[in-house]
Amino acid sequence: MNKGLLIVLSGPSGVGKGTVCSVLRHKMPELVYSVSATTRSPRLGETDGINYFFKTREQFQELISRGAMLEYAEYVNNYYGTPRDFVEHTINSGKDIILEIEVQGALKVKETFPQGVFIFLMPPSLEVLKQRITGRGTESQEIIDSRMSIAAEEINLIRYYDYAVVNDEIEAACHRIQSIVTAEHCRKERYLASLAESMQAASEKA
């Protein structure tokens, strides 16, 4: 069986990764959505085990030390990370999985899974990004400034990604991501792998 695709959706903080991902859940129910672990506090409406696995710093560090995190990064004084087992099990079962993670974490995943599909969600402009970060209204000015400076650095990392999807309009951004997943399934390398597999199955049957 062909392995599933590992799709990594990343981009600067405040670009709208979470919103895009929640719309994608409705449009692409066939995708498995990886749940990240984090040490940051739950925001209003977030549920443990659905939006994130919320952990204490001690719990998180214990997971790191026994190699149970595919990637992790510290970002604005909080850990974010991806439990490894779930990702590997999903791909090996032939299903596609999507990871919505921070930029630094995505580059760590790339070290382990260079064959992954790396999508960078872009704001229409830096000005729009600032409005989005400010508009959330739940953070101090210091945190906003720090996030803007980190965001500018993160955009520089787009060169390590495969695709840039501009989040000008959520429906349009989701349509682009759906198209990327469909196109990646059509890559000739995947086709040749499945052809070789079906020929082997036929010869074993004969």
- 81 or 123: whose CB is closer to its own copies? 123
CA distance to 54, 120, 125, 141, per residue, from 31 (Å): 23, 18, 29, 37
Would you give the distance in Å from CA 64 to the centre of its chain?
A: 19
Which residue among 120, 129, 133, 167 contacts its own copies (CB under 8 A)?
A: 120
Stretch near its own copies under the rule CB under 8 A, chosen from 45-53, 57-65, 142-150, 172-180:
172-180
Q: How far is the CB of 16 from its own copies (least distance, A)?
A: 16
Minimum gap (Å) between residue 5 Cβ and its own copies: 13
Closer residue to its own copies in complex, CB, 82/167: 167
The answer to whether residues 30 and 96 touch, using CB atoms and an 8 Å cutoff, is yes
- 67 in a labelled binding site: no
**Could you give the CA distance from residue 94 to residue 123 in angstroms, rounded to a whole number?**
32
Contact set for its own copies, span 129-168 (CB under 8 A): 158-159, 161-166
CA-CA distance, 119 to 9, in Å (whole number)?
5
Output the CA torsion sign for 197, 198, 201, 202: negative
Three-state secondary-structure class, residue 32: strand
| Residue 22 binds its own copies (CB under 8 A) | no
According to DSSP, the residues that pair with 74 across neighbouring strands are: 79
CB nearer its own copies, residue 152 or residue 192: 192
Helix ranges restricted to H, 79-168: 84-92, 103-112, 126-135, 141-155
Residue with smaller CB distance to its own copies, 31 or 37 = 31
User: What residues from 174 to 193 belong to the interface with its own copies (CB under 8 A)?
Assistant: 175-176, 178-180, 182-184, 186-188, 190-192
Give the nearest distance from C-beta 66 to its own copies in angstroms.
35
Contacts of 54 (CB under 8 A, 6+ apart): 37, 38, 39, 40, 41, 42, 48
Among 63, 106, 122, 129, binds its own copies (CB under 8 A): 122
Which parts of this chain interact with its own copies (CB under 8 A)? 119-120, 122, 158-159, 161-166, 175-176, 178-180, 182-184, 186-188, 190-192
